[in-house]
Structure 1
Amino acid sequence: MVYEYMNFPDGTEVVHTQILNEGTNPTVEVNFERPTPHGFDSARCELPSYHWIERTGYSDEEIAEFLEFLKNNAHLIFRFAKTGGICA
């Protein structure tokens, strides 16, 4: 399951998965996606390792900003991933 987390002013949408691997090492994947004239820019990061699984179209500076965002929001994202999203 994927849950919406927030939208940035530039159109980037942030969504996250439910808790993955709940019995062993719980993880959550967070996806950043922004529409472009020819498709989408996309970046996906796995928490809690902060490992970037995918990255297309975003600059190094934008990825650094996303990393800072994730470090400040990881605890909330994990909480919402456990409870069925921000609106649950």
Structure 2
Amino acid sequence: MMYPYMTLADETEIVHSQVIEEDGKKKVIVNFERPTEDGFDSARCELPDYKWTEREGYSDEEIAFFEEILHSNAHLLYKYAENGGINIA
């Protein structure tokens, strides 16, 4: 399941998975998706390795910006992933 995290000014939606345990390591998958005239730009990164597993439509500069977001928000993404997303209510 993916949980909403934030929407950027260019309409990029950032969502994240629950915590996934794999080989004794806890990881969170973070997706970035922006609507376009022909569908969507999309990118996917796995924390804690900051490994990009998918990337379509985003520039190198945009990916670098996303990495900054991930580095400054990783602790929150893990917290929300452990708790089933952000509790807004």
TM bucket, shorter chain: over 0.9
Q: Which runs of 5+ in 1 are unaligned?
A: none
Question: Across the two proteins, how many residue pairs are aligned to each other?
Answer: 88
Give the whole-Å Cα distance in 2 for the aligned partners of 1:60 and 1:47. 19
Counterpart residue number, 1:10: 10
Runs of 4+ in 1 over 3 A off after TM superposition: none
Q: Which runs of 5+ in 2 are unaligned?
A: none
Counterpart residue number, 1:50: 50
Which residue identity is paired with 1:27? Answer: K
Q: 1:61-80 residue pairs with structure 2 within 5 A?
A: 61-80=61-80
1:13-48 deviations in whole A, cap 9, x for unaligned?
A: 000000011671000000000000000000000000
Does residue 27 of the first structure (1) align with residue 61 of the second (2)?
Answer: no
Give the whole-Å Cα distance in 2 for the aligned partners of 1:45 and 1:83. 20
| TM-score normalised according to structure 2 size | 0.95
The structure with the largest strand share of the pair is 2
Give the whole-Å Cα distance in 2 for the aligned partners of 1:30 and 1:82. 14
Give the whole-Å Cα distance in 2 for the aligned partners of 1:3 and 1:72. 18
Cα RMSD between the aligned structures? 1.3
Which residue identity is paired with 1:47? Answer: L
Counterpart residue number, 2:86: 86
